[in-house]
Amino acid sequence: MSRLPTYFISHGGGPWPWIPEMRAMMSILEQSLVDIPKQLPETPKAILVISGHWEASTFSIMSSAQPPMVYDYYGFPDYTYQIQYQAPGAPEFANRVQELLNTAGINAVTDAHQGFDHGTFAPLYIMYPKADMPIFQLSLKSGYSVEEHLAVGRALQGLRDEGVLIIGSGLSYHNLRLRGPAARDPSSQFDNWLRETLEQTGEARSDRLKHWSGAPSARISHPREDHLIPLMVAVGAAEQDKATRVYFDQNAMGSAVASSYRFG
């Protein structure tokens, strides 16, 4: 097996691929997601997604062979609550993730009931529309400790040599109360800091991420950091690898600046 890269993706809003006007607005994001499978040295055996939409008191790993759907969004058309993305799960790899985390001294449990949230099924539908790629998720841990999530990534870096593609799925800007033209400047300021940070490698990059809340417009861009913390797992699993920006949109969701990165 070739070593797979890791990714942090901005996953867009709600069930956007199924809403024509939203999908048109996110055409740049869509193209970036379509391109990801083409960037890989070989087809993954499975994809592990760390989504900003699943949080637990203990790191939890989706272990169902056929995960259900989780419609964790509000105010969208009725048909978007009937969406089915019936990709298979990856219970064997779920057990492997638990083994790696526990061996590293990180408490982790499996969850046979958790389903795909939209931070997973929306972008993965674009990447693998046939739903034929085994997919499973790892939760965030409540408290959002940057150090803990970096450590999780470090513990899981060997999966990259075992055919598992690791994707942190969130948003580089996530303030649902600040949209439209008012979002442009703070999202741009934080995005510039993020790019400068991710262009570094090793301890320098990780140390800057530990102090992310002091970045320009950080708490405006992320009042609650659930959509930023998936980045830490992707970085931890590729700590020495170069970052490449694979998506950049100055009008994401209307006017915010958003980006995605590949590591390795």
Q: Mean per-residue pLDDT for 63-89?
A: 97
Digit-coded pLDDT (tens) for 198-224? 999 999 999 999 999 999 999 999 999
Query: Does a structural domain hold residue 139?
Result: yes
Assign 181 a pLDDT band (cuts: 50, 70, 90): confident
Q: What angle do CA 202, 208, 211 make, to 5 degrees?
A: 145
In 3D, which of 249, 66, 45, 60 has the Cα closest to residue 166?
A: 45
- The reported pLDDT for the residue numbered 129 is 97
Dist CA 164 CA 111 (whole Å): 19
Residue 83: count other Cβ atoms within 10 Å of its Cβ.
17
- Output the domain CATH number for residue 10: 3.40.830.10
Query: Does a structural domain hold residue 238?
Result: yes
Digit-coded pLDDT (tens) for 240-258? 999 999 999 988 877 899 9
* Tokens 């170069």, located at residue: 242
Per 3-state DSSP, the chain is made up of helix, strand and coil in percentages (nearest 5) of: 40, 20, 35
Residue 194 has pLDDT above 80, yes or no: yes
Query: Does a structural domain hold residue 13?
Result: yes
Query: Does a structural domain hold residue 1?
Result: no
Helix ranges (H only) for the chain are: 20-25, 27-39, 91-103, 118-127, 146-156, 184-198, 202-210, 218-221, 230-236
When divided into structural domains, the chain yields a total of: 1
The full DSSP string for 153-214 is: HHHHGGGGGTTEEEEEEE-SS--TTS-GGGGHHHHHHHHHHHHHHHTS-HHHHHHHHHTGGG
Assign 182 a pLDDT band (cuts: 50, 70, 90): confident
Q: What angle in degrees, to the nearest 10, is found between the helix axes of 118-127 and 27-39?
A: 70
- Return the percentage of the chain with pLDDT > 70, whole number: 100
- The reported pLDDT for the residue numbered 1 is 73
Assign 140 a pLDDT band (cuts: 50, 70, 90): very high
- Contact (CB, 8 A) for 191 and 256: no
Question: With the C-alpha atoms ordered 195, 201, 204, 208, is the resulting torsion angle positive or negative?
Answer: positive
- Partnered with residue 6 across adjacent β-strands are 166, 263
Q: How does the average pLDDT of the chain come out, rounded?
A: 96
- The reported pLDDT for the residue numbered 62 is 98
CA separation, residue 211 to residues 108, 198, 206 (Å): 26, 13, 9
**Range with the poorest average pLDDT among 18-22, 172-176, 195-199:** 172-176
The range of the structural domain enclosing residue 129 comes to 6-263
